[in-house]
Amino acid sequence: GKQIKLKEVEGTLLQPATVDNWSQIQSFEAKPDDLLICTYPKAGTTWIQEIVDMIEQNGDVEKCQRAIIQHRHPFIEWARPPQPSARNAKDCMVSYYHFQRMNHMLPDPGTWEEYFETFINGKVVWGSWFDHVKGWWEMKDRYQILFLFYEDIKRDPKHEIRKVMQFMGKNLDETVLDKIVQETSFEKMKENPMTNRSTVSKSIMDQSISSFMRKGTVGDWKNHFTVAQNERFDEIYRKKMEGTSINFCMEL
């Protein structure tokens, strides 16, 4: 197993590099026209980053591919410097599990059974899926927030991309929107070295264990959850999400 020591800040597990920058993160002040992407890990961060950049660059692929995605969208938690995007918890858990298997900067996930417990108890980097989703959901009407669902983008990308465009105050032609839909498809982004993390060294991400662009589907949880795990999960979900009106699509 890997020897990764996470640190805890106010009950949330974080990577040491994040904790080192904690005071900077806390003093971060957004400017009026900043757009913050606030995804839970593995909810489609890279996908929405690419969509936002394509809209910003008016569909100009060359401009959009000027640098790797990590450099076009700096993580405020990792250096200096809202748009939450949510993905159903079960697919997030599966995606995070495979990500921890291949990412040498994160602890070994252990067996799937072990990881199930780790995830539902929020003992993963960036904390509990439940807290993240509930928190942003409750906040969404009080601030200028566009709340997106991974499953919606998957089902009707053009419709959701148009929403992002409008939120950004842009007005692009239909042909440009169609191009953005094509360029941000899973197949394209999996092949694109500016988005697929192929430039990250194998000592950090070993894509022979699991690809960063792994499957990109809704419902892969069905290939991982046992019937008993699924029942237990639904029970925990009901308790933790009680009083929340949010509704996730679990399969397409």
Select the residue interacting with ligand A3P from 98, 132, 162, 197 (CB under 6 A).
98
Phi, psi angle pair for 83, to nearest 5°: -135, 90
Subset of 154-213 contacting ligand A3P (CB under 6 A): 184-186, 189, 213
Nearest distance in Å: CB 132, ligand A3P? 12
Distance CA 35, CA 192 (A): 24
Q: Which is nearer to ligand A3P, 160 or 172 (CB)?
A: 160
With binding defined as CB under 6 A, does residue 15 bind ligand A3P? no
With binding defined as CB under 6 A, does residue 214 bind ligand A3P? yes
With binding defined as CB under 6 A, does residue 47 bind ligand A3P? yes
Nearest distance in Å: CB 245, ligand A3P? 24
| DSSP-derived 3-state class of residue 96 | helix
- CB of 87 closer than 8 Å to CB of 155: no
The three state secondary structure string of 162-195 is: HHHHHHCCCCCCHHHHHHHHHHCCHHHHHHCCCC
Closest CA to 49 of 38, 60, 58: 38
With binding defined as CB under 6 A, does residue 102 bind ligand A3P? no
Binding site for ligand A3P (CB under 6 A): 39, 41-47, 91, 95, 98, 184-186, 189, 213-216, 220
